[in-house]
C-alpha cells in the first residue's frame, strides 16, 4: 500500500512540477520578449542578454507563484483512474453510487477544495516549524522564498494524499 501512495505522489510531483515550471517559463519568455520588442529591439550584446535574463528571472518567480496554484488544480485530475502497484483512486458521483470514468475539472472541484485545505494546514505547520527552528538556530528569515514554498507544497502533498480517501467521501481506493 505504501508503494501505491509513493508512486501516486511521485507521479503527482513530476506532473505538477513540469506543468508549473513550463507554464511559468513560457509566460516569462513572452513577457520578456514583449518588453524587448517594446524597448526597440536594441542590438543584443552581453549587457542586453544579462538584462533580459534578469527580466525573465523576475517574472518567472512571480508567475511561478501563480502557475503553482493552477498546476495544483490541474494535476489532481490525473491522480484518478491510473493503476499504481495494484491500486487505483476512483472518483465517485455526488451520490456515491457509481464511479466516474471520464473525469472533468468540474467533477474534481469539491475534492480539490478539501484536499487544498489539508494542504494549506500542512504547509502552515511546516512553515511554523521551520520558522521556529530558524528563530532558534539562524535568527534570520532571508531564506524563505517561492522555492522553499514549493518544497513545502511537495512535502505536504506526500502527507495529504493518503488522507484524501478518508476526508473526501467521493474518493475511494480500489484494487485494479
Question: What digits encode the pLDDT tens for the residues 2-38?
Answer: 788 888 899 999 999 999 999 999 999 999 999 999 9
pLDDT at 39: 86
Identify the domain containing residue 99 by its residue range: 2-175
Closest CA to 115 of 78, 73, 164: 164
Mean pLDDT across the stretch 55-61? 94
Residue 167: is its pLDDT beyond 70? no
- Scanning 40-94, the segments in alpha helix (DSSP H) are 46-76
pLDDT at 156: 93
What percent of the chain clears pLDDT 70, i.e. is strictly above it?
94
| Count of the separate structural domains present in the chain | 1
Q: d(Cα 81, Cα 174) in Å, to the nearest integer?
A: 10
> Residue 92: phi, psi to the nearest 5?
-100, 160
Report the length, in residues, of the chain.
176
Q: Please, are residues 115 and 76 in contact by the beta-carbon 8 Å criterion?
A: yes
Q: Which residues of 19-45 are buried (b: 16+ CB within 10 A; e: fewer)?
A: bbbebbbebbeebbeeebeeeeeeeee
The chain-wide mean pLDDT, for the chain, equals: 86
pLDDT band at 1 (very low <50, low <70, confident <90, very high): low
Residue 141: is its pLDDT beyond 80? no
Higher pLDDT, 151 or 144: 151
Between CA 66 and CA 151, with CA 81 as vertex, the angle to 5 degrees is: 35
Residue 46: is its pLDDT beyond 80? yes
Q: Which of 1-15, 96-110, 123-137 has the lowest mean pLDDT?
A: 96-110
Residue 71: is its pLDDT beyond 80? yes
Alpha carbon of 129 to those of 25, 122, 134, 151: distances in Å? 31, 11, 8, 14
What percent of the chain clears pLDDT 90, i.e. is strictly above it?
35
Between CA 18 and CA 25, with CA 19 as vertex, the angle to 5 degrees is: 90
pLDDT at 96: 65
Amino acid at each position: 500500500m505504501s508503494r501505491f501512495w509513493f508512486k501516486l505522489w511521485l507521479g503527482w510531483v513530476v506532473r505538477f512540477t513540469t506543468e508549473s515550471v513550463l507554464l511559468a517559463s513560457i509566460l516569462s519568455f513572452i513577457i520578456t520578449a514583449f518588453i524587448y520588442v517594446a524597448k526597440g529591439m536594441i542590438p543584443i550584446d552581453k549587457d542586453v542578454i544579462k538584462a533580459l535574463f534578469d527580466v525573465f528571472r523576475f517574472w518567472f518567480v512571480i508567475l511561478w507563484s501563480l502557475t503553482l496554484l493552477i498546476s495544483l488544480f490541474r494535476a489532481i485530475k490525473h491522480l484518478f483512474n491510473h493503476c499504481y502497484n495494484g491500486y487505483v483512486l476512483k472518483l465517485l458521483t455526488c451520490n456515491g453510487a457509481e464511479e466516474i470514468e471520464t473525469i472533468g475539472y468540474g467533477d474534481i472541484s469539491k475534492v480539490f477544495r478539501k484536499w487544498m485545505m489539508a494542504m494549506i494546514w500542512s504547509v502552515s505547520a511546516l512553515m511554523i516549524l521551520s520558522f521556529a527552528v530558524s528563530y532558534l538556530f539562524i535568527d534570520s528569515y532571508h531564506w524563505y522564498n517561492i522555492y522553499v514554498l514549493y518544497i513545502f507544497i511537495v512535502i505536504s502533498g506526500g502527507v495529504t494524499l493518503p488522507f484524501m480517501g478518508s476526508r473526501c467521501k467521493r474518493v475511494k481506493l480500489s484494487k485494479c
